[in-house]
Protein backbone atom coordinates (compact mmCIF):
# COMPACT_ATOMS: atom_id res chain seq x y z
CA UNK A 1 0.00 0.00 0.00
CA UNK A 2 1.21 3.51 -0.84
CA UNK A 3 1.45 6.17 1.83
CA UNK A 4 -1.40 8.63 2.00
CA UNK A 5 0.10 12.06 2.69
CA UNK A 6 -1.62 14.90 4.54
CA UNK A 7 -0.55 18.56 4.43
CA UNK A 8 -1.85 20.56 7.37
CA UNK A 9 -1.83 24.34 7.71
CA UNK A 10 0.50 25.04 10.64
CA UNK A 11 -1.06 26.27 13.86
CA UNK A 12 -4.59 26.12 15.17
CA UNK A 13 -6.09 24.43 12.09
CA UNK A 14 -3.58 21.57 12.22
CA UNK A 15 -4.24 21.01 15.91
CA UNK A 16 -8.01 20.98 15.45
CA UNK A 17 -7.76 18.75 12.40
CA UNK A 18 -5.67 16.15 14.25
CA UNK A 19 -8.19 16.22 17.12
CA UNK A 20 -10.93 15.54 14.60
CA UNK A 21 -8.94 12.78 12.89
CA UNK A 22 -8.25 11.05 16.23
CA UNK A 23 -11.96 10.40 16.57
CA UNK A 24 -11.98 8.39 13.36
CA UNK A 25 -8.85 6.42 14.18
CA UNK A 26 -6.34 8.58 12.34
CA UNK A 27 -3.60 9.59 14.73
CA UNK A 28 0.08 10.34 14.78
CA UNK A 29 1.80 10.16 18.16
CA UNK A 30 5.11 11.72 17.10
CA UNK A 31 3.28 14.84 15.97
CA UNK A 32 2.12 15.64 19.51
CA UNK A 33 5.65 16.48 20.67
CA UNK A 34 5.49 20.29 20.55
CA UNK A 35 9.27 20.70 20.84
CA UNK A 36 10.12 18.63 17.80
CA UNK A 37 11.81 20.24 14.80
CA UNK A 38 10.77 17.38 12.56
CA UNK A 39 8.88 18.35 9.45
CA UNK A 40 7.27 15.07 8.49
CA UNK A 41 5.57 12.49 10.67
CA UNK A 42 4.71 8.92 9.84
CA UNK A 43 2.21 6.38 11.06
CA UNK A 44 3.57 3.12 9.65
CA UNK A 45 0.57 1.12 10.76
CA UNK A 46 -1.87 3.30 8.87
CA UNK A 47 0.54 3.95 6.00
CA UNK A 48 0.03 7.66 6.44
CA UNK A 49 2.35 10.65 6.47
CA UNK A 50 1.61 14.10 7.85
CA UNK A 51 3.40 17.39 7.42
CA UNK A 52 2.87 20.93 8.59
CA UNK A 53 3.23 23.71 6.05
CA UNK A 54 2.62 27.43 5.88
CA UNK A 55 -1.10 27.80 5.15
CA UNK A 56 -0.58 29.51 1.79
CA UNK A 57 1.61 26.60 0.64
CA UNK A 58 -0.89 23.83 1.45
CA UNK A 59 -2.89 24.22 -1.82
CA UNK A 60 0.41 24.11 -3.76
CA UNK A 61 1.48 20.81 -2.17
CA UNK A 62 -1.96 19.36 -2.88
CA UNK A 63 -2.19 20.59 -6.48
CA UNK A 64 1.16 19.00 -7.34
CA UNK A 65 0.34 15.77 -5.51
CA UNK A 66 3.11 16.12 -2.91
CA UNK A 67 0.21 15.76 -0.50
CA UNK A 68 -2.91 13.74 -1.31
CA UNK A 69 -5.06 15.56 1.23
CA UNK A 70 -4.82 19.07 2.67
CA UNK A 71 -6.40 20.90 5.59
CA UNK A 72 -6.53 24.64 5.03
CA UNK A 73 -8.75 27.70 5.42
CA UNK A 74 -11.24 28.72 2.74
CA UNK A 75 -9.48 32.13 2.59
CA UNK A 76 -6.27 30.46 1.40
CA UNK A 77 -8.12 28.22 -1.07
CA UNK A 78 -9.82 31.25 -2.64
CA UNK A 79 -6.68 33.34 -2.69
CA UNK A 80 -4.39 30.68 -4.14
CA UNK A 81 -6.84 29.49 -6.80
CA UNK A 82 -5.13 26.11 -7.20
CA UNK A 83 -6.51 23.14 -9.08
CA UNK A 84 -7.81 20.78 -6.40
CA UNK A 85 -11.03 19.34 -5.05
CA UNK A 86 -12.56 21.00 -2.01
CA UNK A 87 -14.39 18.04 -0.50
CA UNK A 88 -15.49 19.00 2.99
CA UNK A 89 -16.31 21.94 5.22
CA UNK A 90 -14.82 20.98 8.59
CA UNK A 91 -16.92 23.62 10.40
CA UNK A 92 -14.13 24.85 12.65
CA UNK A 93 -11.96 27.95 12.28
CA UNK A 94 -15.12 29.83 11.43
CA UNK A 95 -14.68 33.52 10.62
CA UNK A 96 -15.57 36.03 7.89
CA UNK A 97 -13.74 37.83 5.12
CA UNK A 98 -14.84 41.47 5.33
CA UNK A 99 -14.30 44.92 3.97
CA UNK A 100 -13.43 47.00 7.04
CA UNK A 101 -12.50 50.56 7.79
CA UNK A 102 -13.53 53.57 9.83
CA UNK A 103 -17.25 54.33 9.72
CA UNK A 104 -16.33 57.43 7.70
CA UNK A 105 -15.21 55.23 4.78
CA UNK A 106 -18.70 53.81 4.22
CA UNK A 107 -19.61 56.67 1.89
CA UNK A 108 -16.68 55.81 -0.43
CA UNK A 109 -18.12 52.34 -0.89
CA UNK A 110 -21.63 53.63 -1.45
CA UNK A 111 -20.39 56.05 -4.12
CA UNK A 112 -18.19 53.44 -5.81
CA UNK A 113 -15.18 55.73 -5.50
CA UNK A 114 -11.68 54.82 -6.65
CA UNK A 115 -10.35 54.04 -3.18
CA UNK A 116 -7.30 52.17 -1.93
CA UNK A 117 -7.82 48.72 -0.44
CA UNK A 118 -5.04 47.17 1.65
CA UNK A 119 -5.09 43.39 2.10
CA UNK A 120 -3.18 40.14 2.51
CA UNK A 121 -5.69 38.74 0.01
CA UNK A 122 -5.36 40.67 -3.29
CA UNK A 123 -7.10 38.01 -5.40
CA UNK A 124 -10.13 37.87 -3.08
CA UNK A 125 -10.28 41.67 -2.87
CA UNK A 126 -10.01 42.04 -6.63
CA UNK A 127 -12.72 39.49 -7.28
CA UNK A 128 -15.02 41.18 -4.78
CA UNK A 129 -14.59 44.76 -5.97
CA UNK A 130 -14.28 44.13 -9.72
CA UNK A 131 -16.59 41.17 -10.35
CA UNK A 132 -19.16 41.56 -7.59
CA UNK A 133 -19.31 45.29 -6.83
CA UNK A 134 -18.18 46.54 -10.25
CA UNK A 135 -16.08 49.13 -8.44
CA UNK A 136 -12.62 50.09 -9.65
CA UNK A 137 -10.18 50.24 -6.72
CA UNK A 138 -6.45 50.23 -6.15
CA UNK A 139 -5.38 47.10 -4.29
CA UNK A 140 -2.32 47.26 -2.06
CA UNK A 141 -0.84 43.97 -0.92
CA UNK A 142 0.31 43.76 2.70
CA UNK A 143 1.64 40.81 4.69
CA UNK A 144 0.13 41.32 8.14
CA UNK A 145 -1.31 43.76 10.68
CA UNK A 146 -3.48 45.04 7.86
CA UNK A 147 -5.62 47.06 10.31
CA UNK A 148 -2.79 49.58 10.42
CA UNK A 149 -3.38 50.68 6.83
CA UNK A 150 -6.52 52.85 7.28
CA UNK A 151 -5.18 54.18 10.60
CA UNK A 152 -1.98 55.54 9.12
CA UNK A 153 -3.58 56.62 5.84
CA UNK A 154 -2.23 53.97 3.49
CA UNK A 155 -5.73 53.00 2.38
CA UNK A 156 -9.37 53.92 2.93
CA UNK A 157 -10.43 50.34 3.69
CA UNK A 158 -9.02 46.84 4.15
CA UNK A 159 -10.17 43.37 3.15
CA UNK A 160 -9.31 41.06 6.03
CA UNK A 161 -10.42 38.22 8.26
CA UNK A 162 -12.71 39.06 11.17
CA UNK A 163 -13.12 36.46 13.88
CA UNK A 164 -14.16 38.02 17.19
CA UNK A 165 -13.99 41.60 15.88
CA UNK A 166 -11.77 42.70 18.76
CA UNK A 167 -8.84 43.78 16.56
CA UNK A 168 -11.20 46.08 14.68
CA UNK A 169 -12.84 47.44 17.83
CA UNK A 170 -9.58 48.17 19.54
CA UNK A 171 -8.44 50.16 16.53
CA UNK A 172 -11.59 52.18 15.88
CA UNK A 173 -12.53 50.21 12.79
CA UNK A 174 -15.69 48.38 11.84
CA UNK A 175 -17.07 45.86 9.34
CA UNK A 176 -18.44 47.78 6.34
CA UNK A 177 -19.35 44.79 4.13
CA UNK A 178 -19.07 41.02 4.29
CA UNK A 179 -17.24 39.30 1.46
CA UNK A 180 -17.81 35.66 2.44
CA UNK A 181 -17.91 33.25 5.39
CA UNK A 182 -14.77 31.18 6.02
CA UNK A 183 -13.85 27.93 7.78
CA UNK A 184 -11.38 25.07 7.56
CA UNK A 185 -11.77 22.79 4.55
CA UNK A 186 -10.47 19.43 3.43
CA UNK A 187 -8.97 19.50 -0.06
CA UNK A 188 -7.83 16.59 -2.22
CA UNK A 189 -5.42 16.24 -5.13
CA UNK A 190 -7.31 15.50 -8.37
CA UNK A 191 -5.27 12.40 -9.31
CA UNK A 192 -5.27 11.03 -5.73
CA UNK A 193 -9.06 11.29 -5.71
CA UNK A 194 -9.09 8.73 -8.52
CA UNK A 195 -6.12 6.54 -7.57
CA UNK A 196 -6.86 6.39 -3.84
CA UNK A 197 -10.61 6.79 -4.12
CA UNK A 198 -11.52 4.10 -1.61
CA UNK A 199 -9.25 5.29 1.21
CA UNK A 200 -10.01 8.97 0.68
CA UNK A 201 -13.75 8.47 0.33
CA UNK A 202 -13.75 6.52 3.60
CA UNK A 203 -11.98 9.38 5.38
CA UNK A 204 -14.37 11.96 3.93
CA UNK A 205 -17.41 9.88 4.95
CA UNK A 206 -16.08 9.29 8.49
CA UNK A 207 -15.22 12.94 9.07
CA UNK A 208 -18.54 14.04 7.59
CA UNK A 209 -20.46 11.76 9.92
CA UNK A 210 -18.46 12.96 12.92
CA UNK A 211 -19.19 16.61 12.09
CA UNK A 212 -22.88 15.93 11.56
CA UNK A 213 -23.14 14.04 14.86
CA UNK A 214 -21.49 16.93 16.65
CA UNK A 215 -23.78 19.57 15.15
Residues that bind ligand PRP (CB under 6 A): 120, 144-147, 160-167
**Burial level of 10, CB count in 10 A (0-12/13-18/19+)?**
middle
Query: Residue 95 Cβ, how far from ligand PRP at the closest point, in Å?
Result: 7
Coil, strand or helix: which one is 48? strand
Query: Residue 208 Cβ, how far from ligand PRP at the closest point, in Å?
Result: 28
> In the bound complex, which residue of the shown chain has the CB atom lying closest to ligand PRP?
144
First to last CA, the chain: 34
Query: Residue 163 Cβ, how far from ligand PRP at the closest point, in Å?
Result: 3
Contacts 24+ apart (CB under 8 A), 110-113: 112/136
Coil, strand or helix: which one is 174? strand
Query: Residue 26 Cβ, how far from ligand PRP at the closest point, in Å?
Result: 27
CA-based nearest residue to 183, from 96, 100, 122: 96
Number of other CB atoms surrounding residue 28 within 10 Å? 17
User: Is 132 in contact with 108 (CB distance < 8 Å)?
Assistant: no
Query: Residue 33 Cβ, how far from ligand PRP at the closest point, in Å?
Result: 25
Amino acid sequence: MEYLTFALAKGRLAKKAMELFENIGIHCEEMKDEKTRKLIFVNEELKMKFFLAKATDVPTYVEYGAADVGIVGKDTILEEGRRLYEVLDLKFGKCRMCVCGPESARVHLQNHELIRVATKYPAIAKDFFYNKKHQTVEIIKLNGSVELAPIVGLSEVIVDIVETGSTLRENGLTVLEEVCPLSARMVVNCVSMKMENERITKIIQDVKKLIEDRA
